Amino acid sequence: MLGLIIFGTRGVTYGSEGGQFYCPDCDGEKAYRHRKVRRFFTLYFIPLIPLDLLGEYVECQSCTSTYKPSVLEFDPKGSEKREEAEFRVAMRRVLVLMLLADGVVDESEIAAIQSILGRLEDRTVERAEIEAEIAKAKAVPGDLAQYCKSMAGTLNDAGREMVVRAALLVATADGKFEESEKDALAKMATALNLSRAAYAGIVTSVLAEVPPQQPQAPAGPPN
Ligand SMILES: [Zn+2]
């Protein structure tokens, strides 16, 4: 007489491959296990024959959160660094284009760019670096507004406001806020999709900090 044969399938979790990864829940480097779930043919509840792969996931050994395997490719530090580098390149070019907006390379404007970039990058920025950037900017066709348009997508709101603010500081470094500079700055704000209110706010606050000098009366004939 035949006994009752009990067979079926069930998922079995296995996999001990692992390493270090960035766990989004822990917000840090943690150990992980790469797990796979495979369906097995079972006989008397014992998995005997491996069947199809049901899924796979990555499990954090610290908080036990589970993620899709693509989490292993996530490198927040790397993307942060890239964004920061992009922002610095953009800032440098925009400030130099702003310096060129009034057609005069002014000493006080060069000094303002050195100081702004120095604070941003926490180092001493040499005058020669600014001169090199001026030469590069002159060699590439395209103006400030065009350049801003091309970088509008890569900067967040704070980044865009920071760029306009810094450009205004450069524009007013020589004590004057000239029509050509006002024009360039307004076009820049539009190209960066900055709202009118945000733009007006920046102009008001910067001009309050560094009021441009009154235009000098033309020197009269010597007495
Ligand atoms: Zn975790």
Task: Give 109 Cα–ligand 1 centroid separation in angstroms.
Answer: 49
> Would you state the pLDDT for residue 79?
75
Asked whether residue 192 falls in the same domain as residue 178, the answer is yes
Q: Are residues 199 and 93 in the same domain?
A: yes
User: How far is the centre of ligand 1, averaged over its atoms, from the C-alpha of 67 (Å)?
Assistant: 10
Instruction: Give the distance (Å) from ligand 1 centre to CA of residue 216.
Output: 64
Q: Give the single-character DSSP code of 156.
A: -
In the reported structure, the alpha carbon of residue 16 is separated from the centroid of ligand 1 by a whole-number distance in angstroms of 17
pLDDT of residue 221: 52
Domain match, 89 and 34 both: no
Give the domain range for residue 163.
77-209
Beta bridge partners of 102: none
Look at residue 55 and tell me if it is in a domain: yes
Say if CB 9 and CB 42 are below 8 A apart: yes
Q: What pLDDT, on a 0 to 100 scale, did the predictor assign at position 209?
A: 79
- DSSP letters, 68-94, are -GGGGG--HHHHHHHHHHHHHHHHHHH
Taking the centre of ligand 1 as the mean of its atom positions, its distance from the CA of residue 53, in whole angstroms, is 25
CATH number of 127's domain: 1.10.3680.10
Residue 1 belongs to a domain: no
Q: Do residues 110 and 205 share a domain?
A: yes
- CA dist 165 to 14, 40, 194, Å? 56, 63, 12
SS3 184: helix
* 103 secondary structure, DSSP code: S
pLDDT at 197: 92
pLDDT, residue 214, reads 52
pLDDT of 2 = 56
User: Could you tell me if 84 and 185 lie in one domain?
Assistant: yes
* Same domain as 189, residue 91: yes
Residue 36 alpha carbon to ligand 1 centre in Å: 18
My answer on whether 139 and 83 are in the same domain is yes
Compute, in angstroms, the gap from residue 123 CA to the centroid of ligand 1: 36
Can you give the pLDDT at residue 147?
83
- Give the number of domains in the chain: 2
Segments of the chain scoring below 50 in pLDDT: 1, 215-219
Instruction: Please give the distance, rounded to the nearest whole angstrom, from the Cα atom of residue 22 to the centre of ligand 1.
Output: 8
Whether residue 16 sits in one domain with residue 69 = yes
